[in-house]
Amino acid sequence: MVASGKGGVGKSSLTVCIGRELARLGQKVLLVEMEPGLGTLDLMLGLSRGVCDLSDLLSGGAALQDAALPVEGQSGLQAILAPIDGQFSYEEEAFARLMKELSGQFDQILIETPPGFGSAFSAAMKAADGTILVSTPDRPCLRDVRAVSDRLDQKPGLTQRLVINRLEVKSFLRRRPLMDLDEAIDTAGARLLGVVLQDEDLPYRLSDGVALLPSSRARQACRRIAQRLLGQQVPLDI
Ligand SMILES: Nc1ncnc2c1ncn2[C@@H]1O[C@H](COP(=O)(O)OP(=O)(O)O)[C@@H](O)[C@H]1O
Ligand SMILES: [Mg+2]
């Protein structure tokens, strides 16, 4: 599961970019978007929000082949879009059962959870066996990630890894919103999985539903994150 304390930290963007990299590494990948009524993955992946979404799959009203939409131009990558109904509430058992079923058909499933501790968070926590905690490099955001991490500690065996997103090295060094990345790791209470730089191109490319260019530092960071998720040893290389 991809989680954060606050919204707007880059969960959707990283879900998409890490998902693309996992697919490029040969994995069969499913992205699952949970936040009812506030989905953005359709735009970021160039999909059309059609008749089927996650709620239809959960209710049995749609089959997997109708709800899991293939991403054009990226073989191995599919996405299930969030319920259109903003009032949709998740039933933990049903969601975890569905994810377990799907785990037999995909190598990797990335579940983007909404911020906070609602029914989507509880359902994802029940289903997941690992968490990517996303934070920007500032104390308020990291403290909220810590609150999420403390909640996730209630599930034994659930791994927790931190991704710092939107780092701007020059302004970080000038303004020092934190002493250093160690402070980020200590505040969040999770091991570092990766650091993704602020990328001026990213909002524009993702609004158009296209992949980041190979020269993009953010894309390269997501590549390294994907490799680490697959157990490879890769230097941090910010
Ligand atoms: N590394 C990055 N560089 C530049 N902009 C980013 C980066 N990550 C996210 N953004 C921008 O931040 C905003 C929020 O990102 P989003 O992925 O929707 O966050 P969330 O899913 O956590 O709400 C978007 O406008 C997105 O384009
Ligand atoms: Mg999002």
Identify the residue whose C-alpha is closest to ligand 1 atom 27: 203
Residue 180's H or E segment, with its range, is none
Of 87, 78, 23, 24, the closest CA to residue 55 belongs to: 87
Which residue ranges make up each domain of the chain?
2-229
Longest dimension (CA), the chain: 54
- Per the CB < 8 A criterion, the answer to whether 102 and 109 are in contact is yes
Mean pLDDT across the chain: 95
Q: What integer is the mean pLDDT of 215-227?
A: 97
- pLDDT for residue 81: 97
DSSP letters of 32-43?
A: EE--TT---HHH
Distance CA 195, CA 166 (A): 8
CATH architecture type of domain 2-229: 3-Layer(aba) Sandwich (3.40)
- pLDDT for residue 179: 86
Close Cβ partners of 51 (under 8 Å, ≥ 6 residues apart): 62, 66
Ligand 2 center to 132 CA (angstroms):
13
Identify the residue whose C-alpha is closest to ligand 1 atom 12: 10
- pLDDT for residue 236: 84
Which ligand sits closest to the CA of 44?
A: 1
Q: Is the model's pLDDT at 50 over the cut of 80?
A: no
